[in-house]
Amino acid sequence: MKSSKNLRIKPEFTTKAKKVYQAAISVENLDDKHGKGLSEEENNIRRFILSQSPILGRIPSMEEIKERFVKLTNEKIQVILKKLDELDAIHLDNNKTIITAAYPFAGYQTAHLIKFKKDKYNNLYSMCAVDALGIGFMLDCDYSINSVCLHCNDEIKIKVKNNEIVYLQPENIVIWFDMEYSCCAATSICKNINFFSSTSHFTEWQQDKSKRKGALLQIQGAFYLGKLFFEKRLKY
Ligand SMILES: [Zn+2]
Protein backbone atom coordinates (compact mmCIF):
# COMPACT_ATOMS: atom_id res chain seq x y z
CA MET A 1 0.00 0.00 0.00
CA LYS A 2 1.18 3.46 -0.92
CA SER A 3 2.17 5.69 1.94
CA SER A 4 -0.42 8.40 2.20
CA LYS A 5 1.84 10.59 4.30
CA ASN A 6 2.76 12.88 1.47
CA LEU A 7 -0.49 12.62 -0.44
CA ARG A 8 -1.36 15.83 -2.25
CA ILE A 9 -4.08 15.59 -4.86
CA LYS A 10 -4.83 18.69 -6.85
CA PRO A 11 -7.96 19.30 -8.91
CA GLU A 12 -7.53 18.27 -12.53
CA PHE A 13 -9.67 19.20 -15.54
CA THR A 14 -9.84 15.69 -16.98
CA THR A 15 -11.65 14.81 -20.22
CA LYS A 16 -14.57 13.38 -18.26
CA ALA A 17 -14.73 16.41 -15.99
CA LYS A 18 -14.87 18.62 -19.11
CA LYS A 19 -17.74 16.54 -20.48
CA VAL A 20 -19.68 16.91 -17.22
CA TYR A 21 -18.97 20.64 -17.06
CA GLN A 22 -20.18 21.20 -20.64
CA ALA A 23 -23.38 19.26 -19.92
CA ALA A 24 -23.92 21.18 -16.66
CA ILE A 25 -23.54 24.65 -18.19
CA SER A 26 -25.91 23.70 -21.01
CA VAL A 27 -28.74 23.32 -18.44
CA GLU A 28 -27.63 25.57 -15.57
CA ASN A 29 -26.68 29.24 -15.44
CA LEU A 30 -23.64 29.29 -13.18
CA ASP A 31 -23.34 33.09 -13.32
CA ASP A 32 -26.75 33.42 -11.67
CA LYS A 33 -25.83 30.95 -8.99
CA HIS A 34 -22.60 32.84 -8.39
CA GLY A 35 -24.60 36.03 -7.95
CA LYS A 36 -23.48 37.83 -11.09
CA GLY A 37 -26.87 38.73 -12.56
CA LEU A 38 -28.58 39.45 -9.24
CA SER A 39 -29.58 42.74 -7.65
CA GLU A 40 -27.67 43.83 -4.57
CA GLU A 41 -30.53 42.82 -2.27
CA GLU A 42 -30.88 39.42 -3.90
CA ASN A 43 -27.17 38.82 -3.74
CA ASN A 44 -26.88 39.96 -0.12
CA ILE A 45 -29.46 37.40 0.92
CA ARG A 46 -27.82 34.69 -1.18
CA ARG A 47 -24.44 35.45 0.38
CA PHE A 48 -25.90 35.61 3.89
CA ILE A 49 -27.39 32.13 3.52
CA LEU A 50 -24.14 30.64 2.25
CA SER A 51 -21.85 32.34 4.74
CA GLN A 52 -24.09 31.74 7.78
CA SER A 53 -24.69 28.03 7.14
CA PRO A 54 -21.23 26.82 8.26
CA ILE A 55 -21.35 29.15 11.27
CA LEU A 56 -24.75 27.83 12.38
CA GLY A 57 -24.04 24.25 11.29
CA ARG A 58 -27.33 24.42 9.37
CA ILE A 59 -29.02 26.59 6.78
CA PRO A 60 -30.52 29.76 8.33
CA SER A 61 -34.28 29.83 8.93
CA MET A 62 -36.72 32.34 7.42
CA GLU A 63 -36.85 34.10 10.79
CA GLU A 64 -33.09 34.52 10.90
CA ILE A 65 -33.08 35.95 7.38
CA LYS A 66 -35.86 38.39 8.31
CA GLU A 67 -33.96 39.45 11.45
CA ARG A 68 -30.83 40.11 9.43
CA PHE A 69 -32.65 42.08 6.72
CA VAL A 70 -35.10 44.08 8.85
CA LYS A 71 -35.32 46.84 6.26
CA LEU A 72 -36.88 44.47 3.74
CA THR A 73 -40.54 43.50 4.04
CA ASN A 74 -41.41 39.84 4.52
CA GLU A 75 -43.02 39.88 1.08
CA LYS A 76 -39.85 41.22 -0.50
CA ILE A 77 -37.74 38.56 1.18
CA GLN A 78 -40.17 35.89 0.03
CA VAL A 79 -39.95 37.14 -3.58
CA ILE A 80 -36.16 37.08 -3.43
CA LEU A 81 -36.04 33.57 -1.99
CA LYS A 82 -38.41 32.36 -4.70
CA LYS A 83 -36.14 33.87 -7.33
CA LEU A 84 -33.07 32.18 -5.82
CA ASP A 85 -35.07 28.96 -5.80
CA GLU A 86 -35.98 29.36 -9.47
CA LEU A 87 -32.31 29.96 -10.31
CA ASP A 88 -31.51 26.82 -8.31
CA ALA A 89 -29.07 28.75 -6.12
CA ILE A 90 -31.14 27.45 -3.20
CA HIS A 91 -34.03 25.01 -2.96
CA LEU A 92 -37.23 25.71 -1.01
CA ASP A 93 -39.63 23.10 0.35
CA ASN A 94 -43.12 22.75 -1.15
CA ASN A 95 -44.60 25.38 1.18
CA LYS A 96 -41.78 27.78 0.24
CA THR A 97 -41.03 28.37 3.93
CA ILE A 98 -37.91 26.28 4.56
CA ILE A 99 -34.63 26.37 2.65
CA THR A 100 -33.87 22.68 2.16
CA ALA A 101 -30.72 23.26 0.11
CA ALA A 102 -28.24 26.09 -0.25
CA TYR A 103 -25.71 24.42 -2.51
CA PRO A 104 -23.27 23.06 -1.45
CA PHE A 105 -25.09 22.74 1.90
CA ALA A 106 -28.06 20.52 2.70
CA GLY A 107 -30.79 21.43 5.17
CA TYR A 108 -31.13 17.81 6.21
CA GLN A 109 -28.92 14.79 6.86
CA THR A 110 -27.24 13.34 3.77
CA ALA A 111 -24.50 10.73 3.30
CA HIS A 112 -21.84 13.45 3.24
CA LEU A 113 -20.89 14.97 6.59
CA ILE A 114 -18.59 18.00 6.46
CA LYS A 115 -16.32 18.65 9.44
CA PHE A 116 -14.54 21.99 9.39
CA LYS A 117 -11.08 22.72 10.74
CA LYS A 118 -12.09 26.19 11.76
CA ASP A 119 -13.21 27.20 15.26
CA LYS A 120 -16.21 29.31 14.37
CA TYR A 121 -17.58 26.72 11.92
CA ASN A 122 -19.86 23.81 12.79
CA ASN A 123 -20.37 20.51 11.02
CA LEU A 124 -23.08 20.16 8.45
CA TYR A 125 -24.05 18.07 5.45
CA SER A 126 -23.41 18.66 1.77
CA MET A 127 -25.92 17.97 -0.99
CA CYS A 128 -23.70 15.57 -2.97
CA ALA A 129 -20.16 14.26 -3.41
CA VAL A 130 -19.09 17.02 -5.81
CA ASP A 131 -20.61 19.74 -3.60
CA ALA A 132 -18.61 18.26 -0.71
CA LEU A 133 -15.42 18.57 -2.79
CA GLY A 134 -16.15 22.21 -3.66
CA ILE A 135 -16.68 23.58 -0.15
CA GLY A 136 -13.05 24.42 0.57
CA PHE A 137 -12.80 26.49 -2.61
CA MET A 138 -15.85 28.51 -1.59
CA LEU A 139 -14.94 29.06 2.08
CA ASP A 140 -11.18 28.85 1.79
CA CYS A 141 -10.78 26.60 4.81
CA ASP A 142 -9.59 23.10 5.65
CA TYR A 143 -12.12 20.37 6.34
CA SER A 144 -12.87 16.68 6.05
CA ILE A 145 -15.62 14.75 4.30
CA ASN A 146 -17.09 11.68 6.00
CA SER A 147 -19.19 9.71 3.59
CA VAL A 148 -19.92 6.13 2.55
CA CYS A 149 -19.68 3.98 -0.57
CA LEU A 150 -23.18 3.88 -2.03
CA HIS A 151 -22.73 0.20 -2.86
CA CYS A 152 -21.24 -1.36 0.29
CA ASN A 153 -21.74 1.43 2.84
CA ASP A 154 -18.06 1.29 3.79
CA GLU A 155 -16.66 4.46 5.26
CA ILE A 156 -15.10 7.03 2.96
CA LYS A 157 -12.89 9.71 4.41
CA ILE A 158 -11.29 12.65 2.64
CA LYS A 159 -9.26 15.44 4.20
CA VAL A 160 -8.71 18.73 2.38
CA LYS A 161 -5.94 21.10 3.33
CA ASN A 162 -5.00 24.26 1.41
CA ASN A 163 -7.36 23.12 -1.34
CA GLU A 164 -5.50 19.85 -1.86
CA ILE A 165 -6.63 16.38 -0.84
CA VAL A 166 -4.13 15.19 1.75
CA TYR A 167 -5.95 12.07 2.94
CA LEU A 168 -8.09 9.65 0.97
CA GLN A 169 -9.55 6.42 2.31
CA PRO A 170 -9.97 4.13 0.42
CA GLU A 171 -7.40 5.23 -2.15
CA ASN A 172 -9.38 4.33 -5.26
CA ILE A 173 -12.54 6.30 -4.60
CA VAL A 174 -14.59 7.16 -7.69
CA ILE A 175 -17.54 9.51 -8.05
CA TRP A 176 -20.62 8.90 -10.17
CA PHE A 177 -21.87 12.19 -11.60
CA ASP A 178 -25.47 11.82 -12.64
CA MET A 179 -26.64 13.97 -15.54
CA GLU A 180 -30.36 13.16 -15.59
CA TYR A 181 -31.53 16.67 -14.82
CA SER A 182 -35.16 17.45 -14.12
CA CYS A 183 -36.39 20.67 -12.50
CA CYS A 184 -33.54 21.37 -10.09
CA ALA A 185 -30.44 19.70 -8.80
CA ALA A 186 -31.78 19.09 -5.28
CA THR A 187 -34.62 16.84 -6.38
CA SER A 188 -32.93 15.16 -9.33
CA ILE A 189 -29.17 14.77 -9.68
CA CYS A 190 -27.89 15.56 -6.18
CA LYS A 191 -28.91 12.31 -4.54
CA ASN A 192 -27.31 10.51 -7.50
CA ILE A 193 -23.87 12.09 -7.23
CA ASN A 194 -22.09 9.78 -4.85
CA PHE A 195 -18.81 8.28 -3.77
CA PHE A 196 -17.95 4.65 -4.45
CA SER A 197 -15.02 2.92 -2.81
CA SER A 198 -13.79 1.62 -6.19
CA THR A 199 -14.74 1.28 -9.85
CA SER A 200 -15.74 -2.35 -9.26
CA HIS A 201 -18.16 -1.32 -6.50
CA PHE A 202 -19.72 1.18 -8.88
CA THR A 203 -20.01 -1.51 -11.58
CA GLU A 204 -21.64 -3.95 -9.14
CA TRP A 205 -24.02 -1.26 -7.89
CA GLN A 206 -25.02 -0.32 -11.42
CA GLN A 207 -25.66 -3.89 -12.62
CA ASP A 208 -29.32 -4.23 -11.64
CA LYS A 209 -30.23 -0.64 -12.43
CA SER A 210 -31.42 1.01 -15.60
CA LYS A 211 -28.66 2.82 -17.41
CA ARG A 212 -28.47 6.49 -16.49
CA LYS A 213 -26.82 9.41 -18.21
CA GLY A 214 -23.70 10.45 -16.35
CA ALA A 215 -19.97 10.01 -15.91
CA LEU A 216 -17.74 8.04 -13.58
CA LEU A 217 -15.03 10.39 -12.33
CA GLN A 218 -11.71 9.89 -10.64
CA ILE A 219 -11.19 12.02 -7.54
CA GLN A 220 -9.05 14.63 -9.37
CA GLY A 221 -11.77 15.34 -11.93
CA ALA A 222 -14.57 15.48 -9.35
CA PHE A 223 -12.40 17.80 -7.25
CA TYR A 224 -11.99 20.10 -10.24
CA LEU A 225 -15.75 20.20 -10.80
CA GLY A 226 -16.25 21.10 -7.15
CA LYS A 227 -13.80 23.95 -7.67
CA LEU A 228 -15.55 25.16 -10.85
CA PHE A 229 -19.01 25.03 -9.30
CA PHE A 230 -18.14 26.68 -5.99
CA GLU A 231 -14.98 28.78 -5.95
CA LYS A 232 -16.81 31.89 -7.19
CA ARG A 233 -20.00 31.57 -5.11
CA LEU A 234 -18.92 34.07 -2.50
CA LYS A 235 -16.80 36.23 -4.78
CA TYR A 236 -19.53 38.56 -6.06
ZN1 LIG B 1 -18.01 -0.06 -1.71
**Per residue in 106-119, pLDDT tens?**
999 999 999 999 99
Is the pLDDT at 185 greater than 80? The verdict is no
Mean pLDDT, to the nearest integer, of 142-167? 98
Distance from Cα 166 to the centre of ligand 1, integer Å: 21
Under a CB-based contact definition with an 8 Å cutoff, are residues 6 and 207 in contact? no
- pLDDT tens, position by position, 195-205: 999 999 999 99
Is the pLDDT at 3 greater than 80? The verdict is no
In this prediction the pTM is 0.93
Distance from Cα 171 to the centre of ligand 1, integer Å: 12
Question: Is residue 202 located within the same domain as residue 119?
Answer: yes
The amino acid occupying position 230 is F
| CA–CA distance, 168 with 86 (Å, rounded to integer) | 36
Mean pLDDT, to the nearest integer, of 44-53? 97
Distance from Cα 218 to the centre of ligand 1, integer Å: 15
> pLDDT-based confidence at 1, cuts 50/70/90?
very low
Give the list of residues 6+ apart from residue 222 with CB closer than 8 angstroms, or none.
17, 129, 130, 133, 175, 177
pLDDT, residue 33, reads 83
Is the pLDDT at 2 greater than 80? The verdict is no
pLDDT, residue 76, reads 97
Question: Is residue 64 located within the same domain as residue 144?
Answer: no
Distance from Cα 174 to the centre of ligand 1, integer Å: 10
Q: Alpha helix locations (H) across the chain?
A: 15-27, 30-34, 40-56, 62-68, 74-86, 129-139, 199-206, 219-230
Question: Is residue 15 located within the same domain as residue 122?
Answer: yes
Distance from Cα 144 to the centre of ligand 1, integer Å: 19
Question: Is residue 81 located within the same domain as residue 119?
Answer: no
Distance from Cα 153 to the centre of ligand 1, integer Å: 6
Which residues lie at CB < 5 A from ion ligand 1? 149, 151-152, 154, 197, 201
Question: Is residue 95 located within the same domain as residue 129?
Answer: no
Provide the residue range defining the domain that includes 21. 4-28+113-230
Instruction: Tell me which of 78, 106, 134 is where a domain ends.
Output: 106
Distance from Cα 125 to the centre of ligand 1, integer Å: 20
**Cα dihedral 125, 126, 128, 129 sign:** negative
Is the pLDDT at 184 greater than 70? The verdict is no
CATH of the domain at 207: 3.30.450.410
Mean residue pLDDT across the chain? 92
Question: Is residue 135 located within the same domain as residue 42?
Answer: no
Nearest alpha carbon to residue 134 among 68, 221, 63: 221
Total domains in the chain come to: 2
Under a CB-based contact definition with an 8 Å cutoff, are residues 233 and 35 in contact? yes
Residue 81, domain member (yes or no)? yes
> pLDDT-based confidence at 213, cuts 50/70/90?
confident
